[in-house]
Structure 1
Amino acid sequence: MSSGVKSSGKGLADIFQAFTELSQMDVLVGIPHGEARTDGDGLTNAQIGYLQENGSPAMNIPERPFLVPGVEEVQEKVGDKLVKAVDAGLAGNSQRMIMLLESAGMIAMNSVRAYFVNGEFAPLSLATIRARSRRGRKGAKKYLKQLESGSAESGLVRPLIDTGELRKSVTYIIMKKDKEIKRAST
Structure 2
Amino acid sequence: MPDFIKQDNLKQVLEAISGLVGKDVLVGIPDSAPERRTDESGEPTPPSNAVIGYIQETGSPANNIPPRPFLVPGVAEVQDAISTRLGKAASAALAGDKDGAEVQMGRAGLQAQNSVRARINNGVMPELKDSTIANRLRRGRTGTVPLIDTGQLRNSIIYVIRKKA
Instruction: Please indicate the TM-score interval, normalised by the length of the shorter structure.
Output: 0.7 to 0.9
Q: 1:113 aligns with which of 113, 117, 126?
A: 117
TM (norm. structure 2) is 0.84
How far apart are residue 8 of structure 1 and its match? 5.7
Distance 2:70 2:5 in 1: 47
Question: Equivalent pairs: percent with the same residue?
Answer: 48
Is 1:133 matched up with 2:137? yes
Is the 1:66–1:119 Cα contact (8 Å) retained in structure 2?
no
Q: How many residues align?
A: 155
1:19 maps to 17
Is the 1:29–1:105 Cα contact (8 Å) retained in structure 2?
yes
Is the 2:25–2:109 Cα contact (8 Å) retained in structure 1?
yes
Distance 1:101 1:161 in 2: 28
2:9 maps to 10
Is 1:161 matched up with 2:148? yes
RMSD: 2.3
Q: Which runs of 5+ in 1 are unaligned?
A: 140-156, 179-186
1:26-49 residue CA offsets vs partner (Å, 9 max, x unmatched): 00000011579xxxx701000000
Counterpart residue type for residue 10 of structure 1: N
2:42 maps to none
Q: 1:67 aligns with which of 71, 89, 95?
A: 71
Q: Larger relative CO (CA 8 A, sep 6+): 1 or 2?
A: 2
Is the 1:109–1:170 Cα contact (8 Å) retained in structure 2?
yes
Counterpart residue type for residue 23 of structure 1: V
Alpha carbons of 1:25 and 1:134: their partners in 2 closer, same or farther (altered >3 Å)?
Answer: same
Structure 1 segment 90-105 matched on structure 2, within 5 A: 90-105=94-109
Distance 1:174 1:166 in 2: 20
Runs of 4+ in 1 over 6 A off after TM superposition: none
Is the 1:27–1:175 Cα contact (8 Å) retained in structure 2?
yes
Alpha carbons of 1:94 and 1:16: their partners in 2 closer, same or farther (altered >3 Å)?
Answer: closer
